[in-house]
Structure 1
Amino acid sequence: MNVVDKILTLEHKETVRLDPDQLNGLYRQLGDKNALDVLCRTIEELAVRLSNCERFWRARDWTGLRKCARSLVAIAEQIGMVALARVAGDVANSVDAGDAVATGSTLSRLIRVGEKSLTVIWDQQDLSV
């Protein structure tokens, strides 16, 4: 048997959860146009903060990473991105625990869940440019 035959490839498939009641409430409260504007700005802000989290990780800026992850929790909860909020909280908790390995792993998951969440909400809301 060749050594190459023993190599496994792991596929990371993340399931995202969106709270439709949260989004519906936003639309009821603000109206269609204003809710769509808020949602577009929020999605943009989430994308920036996900990128910032990765930048803080690479710089080993634990304070910045924790603050950025906590801000992701608050923003994600506002528009019903349940999974994203939970994983962002996990990143902050692993920073608090001082566990760099867990933080790196959890941050990778945050990036995957974040990208998937942004894609799902973008597609659901038909936010085409």
Structure 2
Amino acid sequence: MVTNLVSITPSEHVVFDSRRLRSLCAEYGVRGAEAVVMDAVEDISGSLFVIETACRRDRVSEIPATARHVSQMAAEIGMLSLARVARDLGIVAQRGDIVACRAIWARVVRIGDQSLAKVWQAPGLSM
């Protein structure tokens, strides 16, 4: 018996709005923009921990509000892909679908990691 094993490595296309970052720099100055971004990233990180805990414990009802918050914070600093997938997570959680929540959670992690890398590489910031 011959078995073919196929390995699938998920990849995500991440959209980062550098114009939003430039807008923050114009509004707050470079140092101020860095502070805004760092505060948002810290807030997003804490919120993602809350979501992860809720997913692991099958507490779907705890996810929607936190996912909406992540979406808003991510959009504020230009992480458009993370904002979109966090919004999707909130929608399926609102419907009570734990299987979909776990699938979308995996996307949130992948996109979140890539989005953070794009923020750190953004020109004009010294993070």
> Scaled by the length of structure 2, what TM-score is found?
0.90
Q: 1:94 to 1:39 in 2, by over 3 A?
A: same
Q: 1:91 aligns with which of 89, 92, 97?
A: 89
1:36 corresponds in structure 2 to: 34
SS in 2 for 1:9: coil
1:2 corresponds in structure 2 to: 2
Q: What is the root-mean-square deviation in Å for CA atoms of aligned residues?
A: 1.4
2:50 corresponds in structure 1 to: 52
CA displacement 1:31-85 (0-9 Å, x = unmatched):
1111111111211222222222111111122222112111101101111111100
Identity between Structure 1 and Structure 2 (%): 28
Count of residues in correspondence between the two structures: 125
Q: In structure 1, how many angstroms separate the alpha carbons of the residues matched to 2:38 and 2:104?
A: 26
1:110 corresponds in structure 2 to: 108
Query: Which structure dedicates a bigger proportion of its chain to helix?
Result: 1
Q: In structure 1, how many angstroms separate the alpha carbons of the residues matched to 2:61 and 2:106?
A: 18
